[in-house]
A and B are shown apart, each in its own frame.
Chain A
Amino acid sequence: MRRGLARLTFIDLFLWGFRLLVILLVLYGTAGTLRAGRYSAEQWFDFVIFGLAQGGIYALIALGYTMVYGILRMINFAHGEVFMSGAFTAYFLAIWLGASGVLDRRPLVGLALVLALAVAVSTAVALLVERVAYRPLRRAPRLVPLITAIGASFFLQYTFRGLYGAGIKAYPEIALFVGEVGVGGFTILRTQVVVLVTAAMMMVALYLFVMRTRTGKAMRAVAEDKDTAALMGIDVDRIIVVTFALGGAAAGVAGILYALVFKQVHFFMGFIPGIKAFTAAVLGGIGNIPGAMLGGMFLGVVESVGPALFLDGLGIVAPYQLKDVIAFTMLVMVLIFRPSGILGERLAGKRA
């Protein structure tokens, strides 16, 4: 009993104190910001929408991390480069379509072509990495594929740098998506509407695929227990390929959405979104598909709203420089309260 108490006093007290401190700071900052009344309701709405649009992109990338983790128990660190490869390659098609006027006359057809190319390239790169870098190491200790993944990530970055150059490229503006739409007294940028709708559709489609189809069921079975699934007649290699293909396709879509919102593409563009999406996957509970979606949205909104809401009231100048600090503090907080993420890592029976 006394030993238990002694243990409690040291680590637990510190952790509880830390939790309390962060919560108090957040509350104090929020109260200060709201009292100061610097931002109007529209501006708060804008912050949330900016965050959701960014979060939708994080979520789509995070799906790739989380599905691969669910099945192989490995972090595919090359996934950021899968995202980059599609958007970077499709840039050349987009420029060509833009110059020939297709993007202005038939914007949806043009965008569909660009999207198709990006998805195809991202999927192909994801499959290639799986075949060349991961499959031969399937039975190796867990650290080995992790290091390979980092190697594959560098390899892809510098391959694409060699192919397309080190400079920045920018997607053309699509006239259809310039401007804003009004929603109940608020305005939203058209690109953000496109991003939110597409991301939501992608996520629902993916969720239904995993929950309702035979292949999806097989994926869940493999995630649960590879050997038993194989005994049940499931072709495990094929399921792993399907998983990588789905993750790659989602990353391809995310790449085009990113290009619509931010325009710039370059060979290093996958690094930071990749890290953020990985964070989002961990936030939501890695291996858990709805968790990745929720984690992505949560991270996006916290990055966008957090600095203004929490830090402004604390009197911190230039709060947006600390946006990553907020995002990662949130990660730490979530992991302290729920060590396996918001929705939990292992949902044995109902894991998606």
Chain B
Amino acid sequence: MRQIRLLVVAAVGLALLAVGPSAAGPVTLGPVTDAVGVVRIARGQPIVLASWQVISGPNASLGIDQNRGIELAIEDKGGRLLDHPIRLIREDSGCNAEGGVTAATRIAANRQVVAAIGSTCSSEAVPGAPILWRAGIVTVSGSNTAPVLTAANRPATLTGYLRTAHNDQVQGRVAAQFAYFAQQVRRAATIHDGSPYAEGLANVFATVFRTLGGTVTAQEAISPGDTDMRPVLTRIATGNPQLLYYPIFVAEGGHVTRQAREVAGLARTILMGADGLFAPDFLRAAGPAARGMFLSSPDLSPEALGPRYQRLLERYRQKFGERPPAAFHAHTYDATHMIFAAIERVARKDAQGNTYIGRRALRDALFATRNFQGVTGTLTCTATGDCADPKIVVYEVFSANPERWEPGTDPKPVFPRR
């Protein structure tokens, strides 16, 4: 008898795991009825947001930068939303799939979390965002750029996922155009590290470059954590590429940059990375070998983003005592404000001053964002969660001195010309 009961419990548990939150039926709590669930925030209690960013390991600067963007946005609100204090929970997502799963699971276990901000790396979001949405938590990323996350045929498990960062369909195109037109390159090679971000971006680059009429001599891959790139670079050198595009991360990117110059046949090859390398930490990792290389990344120069970004930057420096160490603080700042605006739109109060937020309603309000005036541009979300107003440029690295990192001057945007 007991066994049968156990079996039934297990079967029900499995069934609950298998179907999404929407199958649970509408929930009514206070004045709000919602198909997915309702968060009740008692009077005086905090509205809880969760950040899942990489804050340890070689890519820590990417996530730390974004957490600061969130803090600045919370500061804008004076730390309060709808008369509740805002509380931010931070999880470390590690810039890999395992870290993403861990962070998302920890956030999903907290029933008070209204919305999440993250992740940093696309590899975290691919397995992590479905875990959050299964718990009814919508997440907005300020730096995931992999095309799969917002592709037209994305799985239903990503229903609760949006981003304010650009889609790499855009970045890969700009990078390929830069190689073909500005550098007059006809033979190029790519390296990715198997992560959704790097693989997606390298593939977009290769596809566009071929369409333009160029030849892709090799589409190589390494593994995260690799240090000896000389063998793979030797293999790439057999195809005599004029340009090498490696949209990977800081540690491995540093090794490729240093070692490319030591491999026979690549001494004059143009080196080019992407926004995952757009950080002073990369210059530390790559050393003087980074001098003269190119990086595709969002345009953070004053001409592109205007005075509002300048003021944000000023506050950033005052509050944290240094320049932003990566490229996505502004996108994450915008993501946080987008969430605030959506919460303000859907939250309902009862007579006692308790606040109720419908999870499905919050998700729908975020997807309905139109002409949102952010620091990174005017944001409008598509049906698959792309909200960015992408401004991608190619930067040239001049001094390769991490202490002189100053996007706009060094590295300086060189393409497209203004």
Interface residues of A (CB under 8 A from B): 38-39, 42-43, 46-47, 50-51, 54, 161, 166-170, 172-173, 187, 189, 258, 261-264, 266, 268, 271-272, 303-305, 307-308, 312, 317-321, 323-324
Contacts and interface: CB of A to CB of B under 8 A. Distances in A.
Interface string B199-229: 0000000000000000000011111011110
Contacts of B285: 168, 170, 263-264
Give the 8 A-B residue pairs with the shortest CB-CB distance, closest first: A321-B221, A318-B221, A320-B232, A304-B231, A166-B60, A50-B230, A168-B285, A262-B227
A166 B287 contact: no
Nearest to A262: B227
Contacts of B222: 320-321
Contact of B219 (A38, A42, A258, A317): A317
Given A42-B264, A46-B234, A46-B264, A168 B251 contact: yes
Contact of B60 (A167, A264, A304): A167
B63 to A, nearest CB: 10
Given A39-B238, A43-B238, A318-B219, A170 B228 contact: no
Contact of B223 (A187, A261, A324): A324
B228 to A, nearest CB: 5
Contacts of A169: 284
Contacts of A317: 219
Given A39-B238, A47-B234, A320-B220, A170 B225 contact: no
Nearest to A190: B262
A43 B231 CA distance: 9
Contacts of A51: 231
B391 interface: no
A53 to B, nearest CB: 8
Pick from B55, B227, B251 the residue with the most CB of A within 10 Å.
Answer: B227
Contact of B251 (A38, A166, A266, A312): A266
Interface in B42-60: 55-58, 60
B194 interface: yes
B284 A321 contact: no
Contacts of A166: 55-57, 60
Given A168-B281, A262-B228, A308-B234, 18 more contacts: A39-B234, A46-B263, A167-B284, A168-B58, A168-B250, A168-B251, A170-B254, A170-B286, A189-B262, A258-B227, A263-B254, A263-B285, A318-B221, A319-B235, A320-B231, A320-B232, A321-B221, A323-B231
A173 B221 contact: no
Contacts of A271: 225
B251 A187 contact: no
Contacts of A46: 230, 234, 263-264
A172 B289 CA distance: 12
A263 B258 contact: yes
A173 B288 contact: yes
Contacts of B221: 318, 320-321
Among A170, A305, A320: residue with most chain B CB under 10 A = A320
Contacts of B61: 167
Nearest to B235: A308
A24 to B, nearest CB: 24
Interface in B253-275: 254-255, 258, 262-264
B220 A167 contact: no
Contacts of A263: 254, 258, 285, 287
B231 A308 contact: yes
B202 to A, nearest CB: 10
**Which residue among A38, A167, A323 has the maximum number of chain B CB atoms within 10 Å of its CB?**
A167
B254 A264 contact: yes
A169 B251 CA distance: 10
A308 B60 CA distance: 33
Contacts of A272: 225, 227
Given A167-B60, A268-B57, A321-B194, A47 B231 contact: yes
A221 B56 CA distance: 45
B228 A50 contact: yes
A266 B209 CA distance: 36
Contacts of A161: 56
A108 to B, nearest CB: 21
A169 to B, nearest CB: 7
Nearest to B280: A167
Contact of A268 (B58, B250, B262, B264): B58
Contacts of B226: 323
Nearest to B229: A320
Given A50-B230, A304-B231, A266 B238 contact: no
